[in-house]
Amino acid sequence: METTLTISVQDYLKAIYELTAGGEPANTTALATRLGIAPASVTGMIQKLSRIKPPLVEYRKHQGVKLTAQGNKAALEVIRHHRLIEAWLVQTLGYSWDEVHAEAEQLEHAISEDFEARIASALGNPERDPHGEPIPSVNLTMPEDTLLPLAALRKGQAAIVKRVNAENPELLRHLDSLGLVPGTKIEITDYSPYDNNLTVLIDDQDFVIGLAISTKIFVEKF
């Protein structure tokens, strides 16, 4: 049933999945930027993906792309690989959370379904990767995540960090140095409505966090 998708196609589908997480279709430029490819090339590829036998994407000129049900499954397969591999690199080979992304980006296309099953089982079928990102289930559904962005908290509220949406190694190391990693308890000690800065108490220390970071950290209030 499944013609094996090329690495390129897998990366397009994953990028479309991530860019359409908010419900809006992904536009050509955003895809081009994320994939490091010229916009013209992106147009060509998404046109092809929308025309193959069972279409992987839905596309209308100048309106952006969305994944079809087929495309969504294919994207979740790649994302499941990626996140399981990240978890496994950390737990069995001592990688740190800023090192796993690049390695997983390659390995996600190279492992078999058998390998996927073996690491999932060896890890005890984890629900989240080292950044707290949910791992799609073996039958390719994405678990619902009810977390709040840190940016939504206000003075006096306390929460626990659950998820960090970042790939950049330097940013990840910075967050690590702040203590903004899954599991950390935090409390908002101040909020500035002008610049949306939050002052956050982390491990007895106050840090001022801007939107660039606070929109990427997801928490659970308590």
Copy the structure tokens of residue 205: 């220390």
Is residue 16 a contact partner of residue 75, using CB atoms and an 8 Å limit?
A: yes
34 token code pair: 């994320």
In whole angstroms, give the CA distance from residue 101 to residue 10.
Answer: 16
Taking CB within 5 to 8 Å according to partner kind, which of its own copies, Mn ion, DNA, none is near residue 22?
Answer: none
Least separation in angstroms between CB 90 and its own copies: 12
Among 9, 13, 107, 153, binds its own copies (CB under 8 A): 107
The least distance separating its own copies from the CB of residue 138, rounded to whole angstroms, comes to 17
Binding string, residues 7-26; x marks residues near DNA by CB under 7 A: xxx-x---------------
Q: Which does 9 bind (CB under 5 to 8 A by kind): DNA, its own copies, Mn ion, none?
A: DNA
Report the nearest approach of its own copies to the CB of residue 74 (Å): 18
Write out the binding residues for Mn ion, residues 15-54 only, by CB under 5 A: none
133 is in the binding site of which of DNA, its own copies, Mn ion, none (Cβ under 5 to 8 A by kind)? Mn ion
69 binds its own copies (CB under 8 A): no
User: In the numeric block, which tokens belong to residue 41?
Assistant: 């090339």
**Which partner, its own copies, DNA, Mn ion, none, binds residue 129 by CB below 5 to 8 Å per kind?**
Mn ion
Q: Which of 21, 24, 38, 196 binds DNA (CB under 7 A)?
A: 38
SS (H, E, C) 165-202: CCCCHHHHHHHHHHCCCCCCEEEEEEEECCCCEEEEEE
Pairing relation of β-strands 65-67 and 197-202? unpaired
User: Measured between alpha carbons, how far is 119 from 186 in angstroms, rounded to an integer?
Assistant: 32
Q: What gap in Å lies between CA 36 and CA 42, rounded to an integer?
A: 10
Q: Stretches 28-36, 109-117, 125-133, 201-209: which one binds its own copies (CB under 8 A)? A: 109-117
- What's the CA gap between 64 and 58, in Å, rounded? 9
Contact 88, 122 (CB under 8 A): yes
Rounded to a whole number of angstroms, the minimum distance from the CB of residue 25 to DNA is 9
| Max CA distance (Å), the chain | 57
- Judged by CB under 7 A, the chain residues 45 through 104 that form the site for DNA are 45-48, 59, 61-62, 64
Instruction: Catalog residues that contact its own copies under the rule CB under 8 A.
Output: 92-95, 99, 102-103, 106-107, 109-112, 114-115, 118-119, 122
